[in-house]
Amino acid sequence: MTPPPGYVPKGDSRVCKLLKSLYGLKQASRQWYSKFSSTLIEHGFNQSKADYSLFTKVYGSCFLSILVYVDDVILASNDSKTISDFIFFLNQKFKLKDLGSAKYFLGLEIAQSSKGISLCQRKYALEILEDFGFLGFKPSKFPMEPHLKLSRDNGDLIADPSMYRRLIGRLIYLTLTRPDLAFSVQILSQFMDKHRQPHLDAAYRVLRYIKNAPGQGIFFPSSSTCQLKAFCDSDWAGCSDSRRSTTDFCVFIRDSFISWKSKKQHTVSRSSAEAEYRAMTATSCELTWIRALLADLHISHSQPSLLYCDSKATLYIAANPVFHERTKHIELDCHLVRDQILKGVLHTMHANSQLNLADLFTKALGLQVFSSLLSKMNALNTYSPDHPS
C-alpha cells in the first residue's frame, strides 16, 4: 500500500503494511468471505460442495442452514431458539443488523403462510418500468410474438447502445422469479454487442408484458413431497444466424418449480435427436447438482429422478448402449446420461409435446398455450386476489 503524499520523504521506497483489509480494496470482499466462512467452520458448520455459499449444521434434532451473499445472510432452521442462539453468537464476532423474518432479500419479495412460500420481484419490476417510461403503456398478455425470428443483420442500428444493454441486464436479474421471461430474455441477450431496432421493439414488448402483472412470481406449496422431476426440450437450429439449437429445461420438486434454463447450445447439432439429447444431458447434470444440494440439506431422495422428453429417438439413444454412425460424435454425452440411468438415479420417460412444460422456454408461444403452460408451473401473481394466502 503506497503511503499518502507527504507522509514519508520524497524518494523513500517504504510502503505501508496492511494490518486489516479496508472496505473498497480489490481483495476486501474476498477477505471478508474468508473471515466469515472460517468462523462458521470453526463453529462446526459444513460448507456445501454443491454451493460454496451454503453452510449447514445439525444440532441433535435441530438443523440450521446459512446462505451467504457477500455481507447479506439468510438463516433457516426447524427451531427458532437455534436461530436466536446463533444470531447471538454472530453478534459477538461481527456487527449485525437483524431484520427478522425474511420478507425482502436481494430484491426478492418473500411472502410466507401455512400454504407455502411465494417469491416475486414486484418492486424491482416497477422500477424497471419507471426508469424506461413504461408505467403508462398498454400492457401485453404474452412477452413475444409467436414465430418471431430476430437476426443480427436486419434493421437499423440503435443510436444509444448502452440503453439496450442496461435494459437487458436488468431483465436478466428479473428472470430469477420470472420463468415466463426466460426465453425472451435469452433471445434478446444474444444481441448485446450489435443490437438493432427490431431487437429494441421486442424488448419493449417484454416491458409491456411485465406491466400486465409486475407481481408475477413463483409459489412453493408446503404440501409438496420430495420427488425430483424435470422436462427437457430443444429448438433444433432455432438460431437463424448460427443455426445452433436451444437447450431448455425446467426442474420440479413435486409441484415446486425450482430451476429452469433456456440457453443456446455451443455446437451445431446435425439432427433434432442430437439437439434433444444435448438438452437431456444438460438436464441430467442439473438434476445431479440438485441431488447433491438436497444431500447437503440432509433431505433424503433415494428414488430415481424423473426426466421427461418428447423425442422418442432421444429416449432410444439413452436406453440403447449400441453406438452407430449417427451417435458416435456425441459419445461423451451418451455415456453421461446412460451412466445416470444405470446407477438408478435417473429414469427417462416420454412426454407428449403438448404436455412438455419445457416448451415454454423453447419458442415464442401464443396466449392460450403460453398461459396454459405457465399455470402448470405454479408461476402466480403474488398480488392477485386468486393467489393462495
Q: Give the CATH number for residue 75.
A: 3.30.310
pLDDT mean over 214-225: 86
Q: What is the pLDDT of residue 329?
A: 65
Query: 327 pLDDT exceeds 80?
Result: no
Query: Which residue in this structure is represented by grid cell 443490437?
Result: 195
Is there a single domain that holds both residue 40 and residue 157?
Answer: no
Q: Are 79 and 168 members of one domain?
A: no
What is the average pLDDT value for the chain, to the nearest integer? 86
Q: Is the predicted pLDDT of residue 96 greater than 70, yes or no?
A: yes
pLDDT at 148 over 90: no
- 241 falls in which pLDDT band (50, 70, 90)? confident
pLDDT of 324 higher than 60: no
Clarify whether residues 277 and 357 are in a common domain. yes
Domain of 72 in residue numbering reads as: 30-103
Does 49 reside within a domain?
yes
Query: How much is the average pLDDT of 302-324?
Result: 82
Domain membership flag for residue 183:
yes
| CA 317 distance to own-chain centroid | 29
Greater model confidence, 384 or 179: 179
CA-nearest of 250, 259, 216 to 360 is 250
Same domain, 211 and 305: no
Cβ neighbors of 15 (< 8 A, separation 6 or more) are: 1, 2, 3
For residue 297, pLDDT over 80 is answered with yes
Work out the average pLDDT over 69-92. 88
Q: Please check whether residues 99 and 57 belong to one and the same domain.
A: yes
Euclidean distance between CA atoms 224 and 330, whole angstroms: 37
Q: Are residues 233 and 167 in the same domain?
A: no
Domain shared by 210 and 345, yes or no: no
Residue 109 is assigned to a structural domain of this protein? no
Q: What is the pLDDT of residue 325?
A: 56
266-289: per-residue pLDDT in tens?
Answer: 888 888 888 888 899 999 999 999
Residue 331: its pLDDT value, please? 63
Question: Which range is least confidently modeled, 107-111, 134-138, 171-175, 358-362?
Answer: 358-362
CATH no. for residue 309?
Answer: 3.30.420.10
Task: Give the integer Cα–Cα distance in Å for 379 and 177.
Answer: 9
Write down the pLDDT at residue 153. 86
Q: 165 with 235, same domain?
A: no
pLDDT at 300: 85
Highest mean pLDDT among 137-141, 192-196, 233-237: 137-141
Instruction: Render pLDDT for 18-63 as a digit per residue (tens, 0 to 9).
Output: 777 667 777 778 888 888 899 999 988 999 999 999 999 988 889 9
Q: Is residue 8 part of a domain?
A: no
Residue whose grid cell is 419507471: 130
The predicted pLDDT at position 288 comes to: 92
323 and 367 belong to one structural domain: yes
- 35-44, 69-78, 192-201, 326-335: range with lowest mean pLDDT: 326-335
CB atoms within 10 A of CB 294: 16
Q: Are 53 and 36 in contact (CB under 8 A)?
A: no
Domain annotation covers residue 12: no
Please report how the helices 312-319 and 331-343 are oriented relative to each other, as an axis angle in degrees rounded to 10. 70
The count of domains in the chain is: 3
- Each residue of 374-385: pLDDT tens digit? 888 877 777 766
230 and 151 fall within a common domain: no
Report pLDDT for 41.
Answer: 92
Note whether 58 and 189 are same-domain residues.
no
Give the range with max mean pLDDT: 15-29, 63-77, 348-362: 63-77
In a domain, 18, yes or no: no
What is the Cα–Cα distance from 135 to 128, expressed in whole angstroms?
A: 9
Same domain, yes or no: 247 and 357 = yes
pLDDT reported for residue 45: 92
149, 157, 161, 168 alpha-carbon torsion, rounded to 10°: -10
Domain-embedded: residue 4? no
Does residue 335 have a pLDDT over 70? Answer: yes
- Percentage of residues of the chain with pLDDT beyond 90: 34
Report the pLDDT value the prediction gives residue 125, as an integer from 0 to 100. Answer: 95
Residue 174 lies in a domain: yes
